Chains A and B, each alone.
Chain A
Amino acid sequence: MMERISPREESLRLRAPERVMDLERLGSLHASRLSFTRSLIRQMARQRWQISATRFELDSNGHGTAIYRLQTPCGRYHGVIFSQPLPDDARSDRVIAEAWDVTFGVVEGEVDDALLEQMAANVPLQEAGRQHPRLLVLSRANRSLRNFNAFSQALSAGRQPDPAWLTRVGYLYRTTAVYGNGKFGIADFGRLRDNPDFQRPFSAQMLAVYLLRHFSIQQVEHIARCQAPGVAVDLATPLKRYLGIGNSTGLGMAPFLINHPQLIERWVASREQALAQIHAQPPSEDQRERLLALLDRAGCHLAQTLTADADQEKRNAATVSELPEVSTWLAQVPLTDNLWQELTEWGHRAFSLETQELINTLLLELYPAIVEPFENRMGVDEELELTPEMPLVRLKQLIETHYDWALAYDFDDPDSRYWFWYRSVEKEEPRLGVRGHDPGVDRELKLAIAPRVVDTHRAVIAYLDAQPHATVVDFLIEHSRYKDIVRRIQTMAETRFGDIRANLWDRNMQPMHLLRTKLSFFGAGRFDPKSDRWVRITLFQGAPLVEELNAEPDDLRDFDDWGFPLEPVLEASSCATAQGAMTDTQATNGVAS
């Protein structure tokens, strides 16, 4: 029987900020039922959202326009997708690209001819266009050429593509940017604050990605039908479910993590509060069985996760090898009231960070009634504010208490100040430079919080020597350049978990951890780092399909159980093999794997 514990007991059971906010741990998080893809699917099913195509005008190559209508109990929206030919030499996942296979947006309200015309002229231009204020999301995506060709060839030959294609690369399209919140003229997030459909962070962006997934299925089936009328088959449902949407992300995502500390803290705190509640629940035999099944599925999923990145491969392999030990232990131990707490503590001592956080992610699956209220607490009104009347000596104490981790860095060590961050003239792309070597240090982005805290602490101590009874505003009037970092310190010290703990100047700093932190909350799976600075992931792989959503499922628990999807098994005779298709495609495109 589930029983919520009091806020006080919850607070006592929370993991410590120094553990939770460690960047490497945050960079080991997995998608969970609190991730935005999962909560969107639940919301859509719970509220009986309906999606229908109102236009699907594509030529035989799949180029043209598609419009999908989304009807919710509160409003109507449209996903508008433009698919156009793209020369191979223009296909780039970089933000500096200027053309894409598809460009699309989500519109609040109806799409009349005038709006469609405006969008057709501007959406394909993305950043270079002026976008309409009724657009909630602006995005673009490129084809995975190998998968796309393999899928259209197989379907047009009347066969199913080998599921192994999607194990290798889990999508037909990957997005390279999904813009919200006022970018390039689209609607501000503030406009959605009172909109019950999309007031959660990134929910409109996730909807855009979900609609693209549906389009990608319909488009590839359409192309196959055009290529071989009467012969082509539709994609089998298990394959449709196993097909997600990719995303390619580079350093561009990193500043968000630093510039939105309250939001990131809220995401982490929600997860941790849910876990603290779960740790207090006495387990049942059913829950143990469920967790064992989830461990098994997650282990298989990770074993099926392919990456060329040696470090990520090692991390996946470590988790895959550790999970059987977890399962054996769990199957044998008596069902004590503290079992979940014991499991977590043992995990901290015995396993890799990814395994530890995977256990936590799976524990969240066991208690929907505890976890789901937190999905409405993932947003926050962001405002870093001064407390000007605070005695300056109190600020000094706050720094020493909440930012002791920052004070511990030695910034006289050249390796501790190795990198600097800046924005390039090329579409303002954030980049890393080596201090003393690369140009741009005079225009450094102030993303590294730790050195600024150390500098502030030093200045505060000096000021207090002369003015021991000073307030914060007294100090700032004389040293105004500390205004923003003092605001941040004062605001974040009020939160449970505070800032991400890392030195973003450090030579050994891994930007990948920042990217994964955010992507895991989006719901990303199959992390496939391509370097320490950019990564490909998959969203919505395994998620219910539009037709399943439209059928208004009764059993939402089953509908929601789509995390860690496994490669489906199809009848061998119905499949084109991945190996064969790969060879064909390489021959066609001259692309090495």
Chain B
Amino acid sequence: MKVSYNELQGLCRKAFLGMGFADGDASDAADMVAWMQLHELDGLEALNRGLDHVLAEQQEPARAPATIYADDDLAVLDGQSYSVLSSSSLALELGFAKARARGLAVIKIRRCHNRQLIMGYLARIAGRGMNVTAFWRNGQRPLIEQVVGFRANGQVPEIRVYAINQVPVENAHNDGVTLILANHVELLPDMRSAYDYELLACHRESALLASRERAMLDGITIDDAVWNKLKHLAARILVESTEASRSGAGPEVNDND
């Protein structure tokens, strides 16, 4: 099925509210998913894969990241195993504040999942004139790394996903994401490593802009089953109708005048 960007964003927002997200988190999470889908990066599929986890974590009282360490240009946060949909926006805002003050900031969010979805918020930070790059590892053997870099005021990133064939000895499970923010210096991924690697995916800015253009013209393709799941979640915020509420809200039910 085809939907519009605004429609996707709107339904996601309502679905996140239905899941129990606070208003600001629901809007951010919806923007993150819709941004991915707009650029043909399968945001809905990423959400769908982690949906049970996201639903479960909404039962927890506090879902913002907890600060483990912070100084003027570095912070380490504990994502507490929540989705980046809940935990990344304020971590990135923290990095933004530090980079504005110090020129460059590094933020590490430990223990988070759904990391693909962080891209939408990186776009937002970049839109405010900040160079920003995110790095994370997806698998251990083969070791898969992903780098997403936006230039300041860029609408789309350069993305590289690659497998490292020579796995280091120290290869502990890493479910974090490292964010580097720089006021003045571009931090785009550029594959120049001497290591033996296999490029698994390469999304260039021009291709992502073309994807967006296509989606704006033809609509965004989505999976009907996921769409219906979101509609179901969105319905949780709706209030049952009564005769009194129906009659108070607008014109008569019959308007033959």
Give chain A's interface residues, CB within 8 Å of chain B: 88-89, 91-96, 130, 133, 142, 144-146, 181-191, 248, 250-252, 383, 385-386, 388-389, 422-426, 428-433, 438-440, 443, 446, 471-473, 476-478, 480-485, 487, 530-531, 533-534, 589, 591, 593
Please count the residue pairs between chain A and chain B whose beta carbons lie under 8 angstroms apart in the complex. 177
Q: Which of A429, A473, A487 has the most CB of B within 10 A?
A: A473
Across the interface, which residues of A come within 8 angstroms of B64, CB to CB?
476-478, 480
Closest to A441 in B: B239
The 0/1 profile, CB within 8 Å of A marked 1, for residues 216-257 of chain B is 111100000000000000011111111011101111111111
Give B256 Cβ to nearest chain A Cβ, in Å. 5
Across the interface, which residues of B come within 8 angstroms of A422, CB to CB?
238-239
* Distance of A423 Cα from B14 Cα, bound (Å): 11
Is B7 part of the binding interface, using a Cβ–Cβ cutoff of 8 Å? yes
In this complex, how many residues of chain B approach chain A with their Cβ under 8 Å: the count is 52
If A190-B216, A389-B97 touch, does A483 touch B90 (CB 8 Å cutoff)?
A: yes
* Distance of A198 Cα from B228 Cα, bound (Å): 33
27 A-B pairs (CB sep. < 8 Å): A88-B254, A88-B256, A96-B253, A183-B6, A185-B3, A187-B4, A190-B6, A250-B251, A388-B94, A388-B96, A389-B96, A389-B97, A422-B239, A423-B239, A424-B240, A429-B250, A430-B249, A431-B245, A433-B245, A439-B239, A440-B240, A446-B23, A472-B97, A476-B64, A484-B27, A534-B249, A593-B257
State whether B93 touches A426 (Cβ < 8 A).
Answer: no
Across the interface, which residues of A come within 8 angstroms of B7, CB to CB?
182-185
State whether A477 touches B90 (Cβ < 8 A).
Answer: yes
Give B241 Cβ to nearest chain A Cβ, in Å. 5
Give A233 Cβ to nearest chain B Cβ, in Å. 26
- Extra contacts besides A438-B245, A439-B242 (14): CB < 8 Å: A94-B249, A130-B1, A133-B2, A145-B257, A181-B4, A185-B7, A422-B239, A424-B238, A431-B239, A433-B245, A477-B64, A477-B90, A480-B24, A483-B25
Q: Choose among A94, A389, A432, A443 the residue that contacts B237 (Cβ–Cβ < 8 A).
A: A443
State whether A250 touches B249 (Cβ < 8 A).
Answer: yes
Q: What are the 4 A-B residue pairs with the smallest beta carbon separation, nearest first?
A: A250-B250, A182-B4, A182-B6, A484-B24
State whether B239 touches A424 (Cβ < 8 A).
Answer: yes
State whether B253 touches A94 (Cβ < 8 A).
Answer: yes
Give A204 Cβ to nearest chain B Cβ, in Å. 14
If A185-B3, A191-B216 touch, does A591 touch B239 (CB 8 Å cutoff)?
A: no
State whether B238 touches A423 (Cβ < 8 A).
Answer: yes
State whether B254 touches A423 (Cβ < 8 A).
Answer: no
The 0/1 profile, CB within 8 Å of A marked 1, for residues 82-105 of chain B is 000000011001101100110000
* Distance of A191 Cα from B6 Cα, bound (Å): 11
Closest to A428 in B: B238
* Distance of A303 Cα from B85 Cα, bound (Å): 57
State whether B256 touches A591 (Cβ < 8 A).
Answer: yes
Across the interface, which residues of B come within 8 angstroms of A250, CB to CB?
249-251
Q: Within B139-168, which residues are at the interface with A (CB < 8 Å)?
A: none
Across the interface, which residues of A come within 8 angstroms of B241, CB to CB?
424-426
State whether A133 touches B4 (Cβ < 8 A).
Answer: yes
Give B210 Cβ to nearest chain A Cβ, in Å. 15
Is B65 part of the binding interface, using a Cβ–Cβ cutoff of 8 Å? yes
* Distance of A250 Cα from B249 Cα, bound (Å): 7
Give B15 Cβ to nearest chain A Cβ, in Å. 13
Is B5 part of the binding interface, using a Cβ–Cβ cutoff of 8 Å? yes
Is B174 part of the binding interface, using a Cβ–Cβ cutoff of 8 Å? no
State whether A133 touches B97 (Cβ < 8 A).
Answer: no
Across the interface, which residues of A come within 8 angstroms of B28, CB to CB?
483
If A92-B252, A191-B217, A443-B238 touch, does A426 touch B246 (CB 8 Å cutoff)?
A: yes
* Distance of A424 Cα from B90 Cα, bound (Å): 32
Is B67 part of the binding interface, using a Cβ–Cβ cutoff of 8 Å? yes
